[in-house]
Amino acid sequence: MVFEDDRNELYDDWWTMVTGNAPIRRSSLAPGTCFSNVILPLVGSSSPFWTVLLETVYYETCHASLLMDTFLYCVFSYLGLEPRAVSDVHVNPTITIIDLKCTRMFVGLDGWVPALKNMYLDSAVNVVDFAQLTLLEQVKLV
């Protein structure tokens, strides 16, 4: 995986999980380097990776998705984690709101939390700032 810019990002290690190699920066390549395969990513919901999430209706039972299953296998293997059993479903699940304080503003969060607690009395409602967690802690939480 070759990145066009020299900006290191928090999730660059995820490419190591998926490809088995650390990403490199174009500036570290010799001038005139030729590429045999080039992938131009599609942004946001137009990406075929993320559309598998959008196509699933919430009331459907879980089903296999080759792209997502492969990605999850790579992430869990890289982090040394065992995936949760499909049978690990809770009648009253924990509701976790991921608040990205440094990069995105969650409008009206102070009003949403009490409303969710009143709506789902038997579920725990947590607000978590991912910036305060390691990658491993984030994956375990999700």
Which residue, among 24, 29, 25, has the nearest Cα to 5 in the 3D structure? 25
Which pLDDT value is given to residue 122? Answer: 93
pLDDT in tens, the chain (142 residues): 788 778 887 778 888 887 888 888 888 888 877 777 666 555 555 555 555 555 554 444 555 666 677 778 888 888 899 888 878 777 888 899 988 777 777 788 889 899 999 999 999 999 999 888 888 898 888 8
Give the CA count within 13 Å in the CB-facing half-sphere of 26.
8
Within 8 A by CB and 6+ apart from 19, the residues are 1
Residue spans per domain, the chain: 90-142
- Whole-prediction pTM value? 0.55
- What per-residue confidence (pLDDT) applies to 59? 45
